[in-house]
Amino acid sequence: MKDWIEECFDWFDDRFEPPETPILPTKSFFKAGGGESEETARQVLKDVTRLLHFDAPIDLIPLDLLSAEYRLDYNSTSAVAGTYQNDGETVVIRYDPELLKSPLQFINILAHEVMHARLSGLEDEVPGGAGAHELSTDLGCIIAGFGVFQLQGADDAGWAGYLSQDSRAHALALFLKRRGLGRECVSGHLTPRCQKLLTRAIKALL
């Protein structure tokens, strides 16, 4: 797994412009206002596409789901947080409106879905091929700077997603190492549990 992550870093860095710093949940990176409206969601998507250097048009549509108060378990691992569709002409991302109450998780989901669009047509070229597409999509977000959102967002939601938390922590540690950065640039945005995972991953790279 570590070898595959390293290979993906090389592939992404060769194909896309590598970010020099991690993307953080601050106003320095995100210009969208607060709230839970569809307009706020569109503003967040605009921020995410800007940060991922993806400029093709995207239709953003809320999923038709029950409000969280009527669901048995909103944090269920089987819950659909977002979907991606591309018919060759139009990219459509659908999202769970309840995620707007958890901005970090919402940004993480949007980054994942936009990464799908970014990798459209390249699925067979990414290390691991089409069979590893969901894994490489999550990993691509970390390589593109969204490591804090991947690691902390999954922890906040109570689910692992496609990558394990150990793999996410390793990828974030590798991001910092390859960019010549220290853990202090992200640790303030991670809970103690996620900081522990990252610290362990950094030590394993020494």
**pLDDT tens-digit profile of 37-48?**
999 999 999 999
Q: Tokens 């969208």 label which residue?
A: 32
- Taking the C-alpha atoms of residue 11 and residue 190, their distance in angstroms, rounded to an integer, is 27
Q: Which of 113, 70, 77, 78 is nearest to 95 (CA)?
A: 113
- pLDDT tens-digit series, residues 113-137: 999 999 999 999 999 999 999 999 9
Between the alpha carbon of residue 5 and those of residues 11, 72, 94, 173, 181, the distances in Å are 10, 36, 28, 11, 18
Share of the chain above pLDDT 70, in %: 91
- pLDDT tens-digit series, residues 144-164: 999 999 999 999 988 767 899
Long-range contacts of 175-182 (CB under 8 A, 24+ apart): 175/9, 175/22, 175/142, 175/143, 175/145, 175/147, 176/22, 176/202, 177/202, 177/205, 178/9, 178/13, 178/18, 179/18, 179/19, 179/20, 179/21, 179/22, 181/21, 181/22
Flag whether pLDDT at 76 surpasses 60.
no
State how beta strands 58-62 and 91-95 pair: parallel
Which DSSP string corresponds to 94-155? Answer: EE-GGGGGSHHHHHHHHHHHHHHHHTTT-TTTSTT-GGGHHHHHHHHHIIIIIHHHHHHHHH
Please tell me the pTM assigned to this model.
0.90
